[in-house]
Amino acid sequence: MVKTKSRPPGDALSGSVTHLLHRALQLALDYHSEAAGPGAITQRQYTVLAAAAAQDGLTQNDLVRATGIDRSTLADLVARMLAKGLLVRERSATDARANSVRLSEAGRTALSAGATPATAADSRLLGSLSAKKRDGFLKALATLTAETPAPPKDKAGRRKAGKVKAPKAAKASKGAKVKTGKPVKATAASAKPGKKHKKDKKAKPSLGV
């Protein structure tokens, strides 16, 4: 029986993209909390305020798409921020069945105050990378979080277009050849009245049973 060496738990996690991204996010949240201090808005609250400030009249579904925060967590965040007076809820102008939110004056003040710790947290996190790697890191994150991934490129750098397959019926008819130039033989149904078909002479009368 061949013995196999089992990997320590740390080795498995060190190669996990999901785990590493989660750890990086956790560090960013900790850095933001330390920079903001007690009583300040959290990093996720700052994100919601920034998204709502970018465009007035966003619904909760719009905020989910803009922030990437899951629906249940976002609903709890919005409820807390409405209670604190940071957001104002009103009927959506585009959808009568939905409610939209916008920043209050207190929300704009909190957003302005939260910009400093947010920038400090980002700078502290990126400080772990060299200046040459920071742009590539940001571009990689933007690619990973893009809603619609870009199609792959060919060797010339052009985007590959997806091949559209023709329906089976169209393929079958494409190779079919139509013979022309030969006269069409008359059948019994197409023969002129008064003339008997050659096969009719040999046909035996039916008994009518």
Q: For the chain, how long is the longest CA-to-CA vector?
A: 111
Task: With a cut of 80, say whether residue 207 has pLDDT above it.
Answer: no
Q: What is the pLDDT of residues 89-119, one digit of tens each?
A: 988 777 767 788 999 999 999 999 999 999 9
pLDDT attached to residue 189: 47
Angle at 87 between CA 86 and CA 90, to 5 degrees: 155
Which fold does the domain 14-132 belong to in CATH? Answer: Arc Repressor Mutant, subunit A (1.10.10)
Give the span between the Cα atoms of 64 and 61, in whole angstroms: 5
pLDDT attached to residue 129: 93
Task: With a cut of 70, say whether residue 181 has pLDDT above it.
Answer: no
Q: What is the pLDDT of residues 22-37, one digit of tens each?
A: 999 999 999 999 999 9
Task: With a cut of 80, say whether residue 160 has pLDDT above it.
Answer: no
Task: With a cut of 90, say whether residue 182 has pLDDT above it.
Answer: no
Listed by start position, the domains of the chain span 14-132
Tell me what the mean pLDDT of segment 147-165 comes to.
Answer: 54
| Average of per-residue pLDDT values in the chain | 77
Q: Name the percent of the chain lying above pLDDT 90.
A: 48
Amino acid at 88: V
DSSP secondary structure letters along 137-205: HHHHHHHHT-SSPPPPB-TTSPBPPPPPPPPHHHHHHHS-----SSPPPP-TTTSPTTPPPHHHHHPPP
Q: Is the alpha carbon torsion for 121, 123, 124, 125 positive or negative?
A: positive
Look up the pTM and report it: 0.61
Among candidate residues 52, 48, 44, 45, the one with its CA nearest the CA of residue 103: 52
Task: With a cut of 70, say whether residue 184 has pLDDT above it.
Answer: no
For 68-77, 79-88, 151-160, which range has the lowest pLDDT when averaged over its residues?
Answer: 151-160
pLDDT attached to residue 205: 47
pLDDT attached to residue 94: 72
Amino acid at 164: V
Give the pLDDT band of residue 56 (cuts 50, 70, 90).
confident
Give the span between the Cα atoms of 88 and 57, in whole angstroms: 10
- The distance in angstroms from the start CA to the end CA of the chain is 85
pLDDT attached to residue 99: 83
pLDDT attached to residue 93: 73
Tell me what the mean pLDDT of segment 46-55 comes to.
Answer: 94
